[in-house]
Chains A and B, each alone.
Chain A
Amino acid sequence: MAVPPPEHPDFLWRNPEPKSSYDVVIVGGGGHGLTTAYYLAAHHGITNVAVVERGWLAGGNMARNTAIIRSNYLWDESAAIYEQSLKLWEQLPEELDYDFLFSQRGVLNLAHTLGDVRESRRRVEANRLNGVDAEWLSPEEVQDVCPIINTGDDIRYPIMGATYQPRAGIAKHDHVAWALARRCDELGVDLIQNCEVTGFLKDGNRVVGVETTQGRIHAGKVGLAAAGHSSQVAEMAGVRLPIQSHPLQALVSELFEPVHPTVVMSNHVHVYVSQAHKGELVLGAGIDQYVGYGQRGGFHVIEDQMAAAVELFPMFGRAHVLRTWGGVVDTTLDASPIISKTPVDQLYVNCGWGTGGFKGTPASGMTFAHTIAHDEPHPLNVPFSLERFETGFLIDEHGAAGVAH
């Protein structure tokens, strides 16, 4: 055990019965739904809020991600929202009075080809112009930051350098969910589990509530934060989304003494690795290529990701895989999220975070809460509207997002 986990609180949240009516109902009790409820209650004074969750709280991608937090995105619009998110991560442990082990251990994004190098250096410059901490490191400097990585030229894709964001890091994702849920509950938000939305109540073009497996719930406004299942939920309200849902897999090894001091990501060989606080190595891969809701993917994807990891970190060849799992991620064509009003009045959507939703959780909730409270987007999420697919103002983050992030 590397670090003893902080003591777990005795009480987190009530399990209330749903009331017949709320000012706002949030569909989806994952990270994004919980932060949205938190910012509605704590920053907009809207506390008559319910978060309805089909399964258990934070049991979807919030329980399945690799917990990487960074903000080194290429375009101004993304840098702005992800950097805001990183700043919120820096203040949330105190704000929520819960140590969820946010560890700013830095992230290396490796470059393995000349194309990678050019693209990475461009991104470093773009990041600096946007006030994001970013550096370009030579292979020797990469070795200094992460001594266990193989920077030799004896591998198929030698490391030619890396971007480095020192303020990036990881957090303990389940503790993040509990911290948010506890504070939401304290502020009067009803967190309702085992409550699947089966339909929407509409009055003309205006949404006025939801039908659920626990009965009808009236609502002034409804916000959707259903990740991989966003298409299905939105379709019940008559809204079509430019989303495709794919399996995304990850795995952990057994526990080790601390060996890996930072976060290493490589788009080129499709792997990203950190070492969690307990000591397990956490590895993620790219998405499986097909549309899938099975929360599982092909073993060959895991195999390829392991091959890449073992080549980059020769010592991992002695480690054993402990568990592998999969989630369902909602991807957009430009690898950027949608935080937007919809063609239906008082219905708002927050989706399309694809493979990188965890790092965006705080800013996602902050901007979505603002959008719901004011029926107008926050300046940070104006560019992330549904309309961008019609105006052509896409925010193409495939380079920064990679196959997965």
Chain B
Amino acid sequence: MPALLEIRGLSAGLQGRRSITQVVSSVDLDVQRGEILGVVGESGCGKSTLATAIMRLLVPPQVLQSGSMTLRLKDGNTYELLELPETDLRQLRWRHLSYIPQGSMNSLNPVLRIERQMTDTLIQHGLSREEALKRSIAALEMVNLEPRLLDSYPHELSGGMRQRVIIAAAVSMRPALIVADELTTALDVVTQRQLLQELAGIRDELGATILIITHDMGVVAQIADRVAVMYAGKIAELGTVNDIFESPLHPYSQGLIGAIPRAGGHRVEGLPGEAPSPWNYPAGCRFHTRCPHVIDRCRAQTPALLPQGDGRWAACHLYEPEVLSNA
């Protein structure tokens, strides 16, 4: 079955006075129907820019540079997201593509009741008031909120409840793809667990696909099916959650997994050095400045994201056939 979303060669950057600073560089990624795909990486690695680019919501100075994104819906309709005019995009967003940006639980309008904020969007998408209300109640139930909450103002709700309202709003049109950026970052662990489990439940109930963007390796380990590890604007490795955590291939994934503080009384070392900012991405492999296995070719040549068998992909010269045969 073809992927729900097929991203090819997607590049996005920041428009400067004279040139564009590339933040996300030729990302290739297939988001499979019905999966929860976790995108992880350190801050500044471009994961939020990738999410906004998928939604076509980049705002200046952010600019899309190149690439293609194909959305294939179950009803047979195919959309080339990068070629759609804004008017069509507006119809697509929320109905088929839903986005929960970082910190969105603080974006509810403080002077409007929840009902108004949830139904407005639905009415905008052509639903009647009654239908919109019915959908809103159904959506709140998916995140275990009572319908009476519709009468509340945002300040009457806890952080976890506000985040649930946002999730409910995002799924009320039963979208095919939900992009959630740092969904649980500001919440305590119990609420985080409940929200993530609710999100997984929504995936099962609606058959939706979820792209979850986070810096928290624990979160992806708990709910993702597959994981894309991003470093300096590129995908370093892609694989099933078990593969990535148990036998990471890319030295960056290895470092990231190895740097997780764990119980057991033995120390782990952090990743040495700092992630480069888009203004000074190194030439060749962008990880070569911090990589313990660096070889000459890493400084000169950018490794491509290549299949490593069993649906696993890695962008590292160490796993290229000619390097492997020399070793």
Partners in one complex: no
> Chain A interface (Cβ within 8 Å of chain B)?
none
